[in-house]
Amino acid sequence: MSARFVAGQDGFATPMNMMRAWLELSLPPLDLLAWTHILLLEGELAAAEPKKQRYRLHAAAYTCGSLRTGTGETS
């Protein structure tokens, strides 16, 4: 994204240009979340809220890390 995209032709950031930049920055995480639902999650976890998904996925990663290292911490 170029500075001209946010600032406009006169060099000043207008509310419309700032909203357009915010929209462009917020779309990739939403796409990633949607594709994760479609491709990777099934059952109860696919229908869960993002907060519950984060908890479950982080808990699984913590468990896998502790099995690999033999301790309760991941490195």
Backbone φ and ψ for 61, nearest 5 degrees, come out as -65, -40
Asked whether the predicted pLDDT for residue 69 surpasses 80, the reply is: no
pLDDT digits (tens, 9 = 90+) for 15-47: 887 888 888 999 998 898 888 878 877 888 777
d(CA 31, CA 75): 29
Higher-pLDDT residue of 65 and 38 is 38
Band the pLDDT of 71: cuts 50, 70, 90.
low
Percent of the chain's residues with pLDDT above 70: 68
Instruction: Name the residue ranges covered by the structural domains of the chain.
Output: 1-40, 42-75
The pTM of the full predicted model, rounded to 2 decimals, is: 0.45
* Dist. CA 37–CA 14, nearest whole Å: 36
Do 7 and 13 contact (CB within 8 A), yes or no?
yes
